Amino acid sequence: MLQIDLSGKIALVTGASGELGRVIARTLAECGADVAVHYCGSREKAERTAETVRSLGRRAIVVQADVTDGESVQAMQKLVKEQLGTVSLIVANAVIQYKWTSILEQPLTDFQSQFDSCAMQTVHLAKAFLPDMIAQGYGRYVAINTECSALAEPGVGAYTAGKRALDGVVRCLAKEVGTHNITVNQVAPGWTISERDRAEHTEAAPDYDKTVPLGRRGTDQEIANMTAFLLSDLASFTTGAYIPVSGGRVMPAI
């Protein structure tokens, strides 16, 4: 029986205080990983995520950083290495939230924030954490993308631009570090059901659901499952991939 086994691995999950991030962090702990729980402004939520990880018998620390700032990310790397050890699994999940509108009405600062928190986050994380992965000859990197980057629908121009820039960085990075036994992949969720939806009973979205071949929205756990798979050695020969977890709403063509 195949099992996702991350025992002995140290993971960093950025944005781990958020709706999706905390489920990813918990899932990695369930698979055996110790977890550095990153947050930017929500320490209380990050502490709750860390407590969940510890309740599963894994080590956890809470780390703060601005993922759009290289020096801040470098400082985070030093702290994680000192307190947990060398990171071999990274999930780049953090992103700046903003109000979606048309390109003509969207403030230019929103385009910059999306580029910085998507593409540049991966650049900063790579510069800070991948040298140790290269030295140990092993590493796994998963960036959380979105179905929006493939669909390019109205009203999401800044988000789409930032995530498409991320896609370019990830593909280049995968080719640059592959010979060091480091894989770099992307998980691209559709509109995902989170704990907030469950609490507010907003899981069903009929207009959206009818555009999904599987007829429903995906769940945070389904996104976390794919992420854990790509971080595991079950996916040891998969790199540079953009994998939609959107119920068939996005089907990349050959």
User: Which residues are the active-site residues?
Assistant: 159
**CA-to-CA distance for 218 and 198, rounded, in angstroms?**
13
- How many residues appear in the chain? 254
16 within 8 A of 41, measured Cβ to Cβ? no
89 within 8 A of 11, measured Cβ to Cβ? yes
61 within 8 A of 36, measured Cβ to Cβ? yes
Dihedral angle at the C-alpha atoms of 94, 99, 109, 188, nearest 10 degrees?
40
220 within 8 A of 196, measured Cβ to Cβ? no
